[in-house]
Chains A and B, each alone.
Chain A
Amino acid sequence: AQTVTQSQPEMSVQEAETVTLSCTYDTSESDYYLFWYKQPPSRQMILVIRQEAYKQQNATENRFSVNFQKAAKSFSLKISDSQLGDAAMYFCAYRNSGNTPLVFGKGTRLSVIA
């Protein structure tokens, strides 16, 4: 079974600085998808960014980018120019190439310090 590990339960960053959240996963598949979801205090789950395993280029969405290392099974999220609104729980998630359910990590709580 696939597993997703987020080794940092909590992180903090100064406003306008850059922070990187770590995620590793375990799978024997070669084709899969990886996601980062944000959960603010409102508890809504918001998709931040997704990466297809067959793509070598790292995904980028505005201030959010990933460092996808397929051989190392690592998928970190970098947030640049951190804003107060970035404070939230961040979940890393994995899905096989079929439309199978997402497997989530335990999450990292990010605090942004003004």
Chain B
Amino acid sequence: DAGVIQSPRHEVTEMGQEVTLRCKPISGHDYLFWYRQTMMRGLELLIYFNNNVPIDDSGMPEDRFSAKMPNASFSTLKIQPSEPRDSAVYFCASSFALSPLHFGNGTRLTVT
């Protein structure tokens, strides 16, 4: 079991550019979550999916943020256009039924 895999590990981009973060959940897991971590706000849920279907996206901060899960083994979080305040660590996590969440190692995004 390779765990939840996120890429890239680090991303540095300029304001206004499009950013795409990627996640491969653990095989067999039916829930996928995207969280954002900042010093000021801690860990915030952005969106989560069940069986590839978005269940709750109320945490997505603005229309600049979008997430997709085209199949059970892949999800993306896209920011377009990016802004400096989007700088944070973005975590993907997956779980099966009532099992605890398994987190990826996160993507540190820096927008200059």
User: What does the 1/0 interface line of A102-114 toward B look like (CB < 8 Å)?
Assistant: 1111110000000
Q: How far apart are A21's CB and chain B's nearest CB, in angstroms?
A: 15
- Measured CB to CB, the residues of A under 8 A from B are 33, 35, 42-45, 47, 50, 91, 99, 101-107
- Using Cβ atoms and an 8 Å threshold, which residues of chain B touch A106? 42
What are the residues of chain A within 8 A of B101 when measuring CB–CB? 47, 102
List the 9 closest pairs (A to B, CB-CB), nearest first.
A45-B103, A104-B43, A106-B42, A101-B45, A47-B100, A43-B106, A101-B48, A44-B105, A101-B33
Complex CA gap A78/B43 in Å reads 22
B100 pairs with A35, CB closer than 8 A? yes
Q: Is the interface of A mostly helix, strand, loop or mixed?
A: loop
On whether the beta carbons of A91 and B43 are closer than 8 Å, the reply is: yes
Which residue in chain B gives the minimum CB-CB distance to A46? B103
Q: Count the B residues whose beta carbon is within 8 Å of the partner chain — how many?
A: 20
Q: Which of B76-96 contact A (CB under 8 A)?
A: 89, 91, 93, 95
User: Which residues of chain B are within 8 angstroms of A107 by Cβ–Cβ distance?
Assistant: 42-43
Interface residues of B (CB under 8 A from A): 31, 33, 42-43, 45, 48, 50, 56, 89, 91, 93, 95, 97-98, 100-101, 103, 105-106, 108
| 14 additional contacts (CB under 8 A) given A33-B98, A35-B100, A101-B33 | A42-B105, A43-B89, A43-B106, A45-B103, A45-B106, A47-B101, A99-B31, A99-B50, A99-B98, A101-B48, A104-B42, A105-B42, A106-B42, A107-B42
Shortest distance between the CB of A57 and any CB in chain B (Å): 18
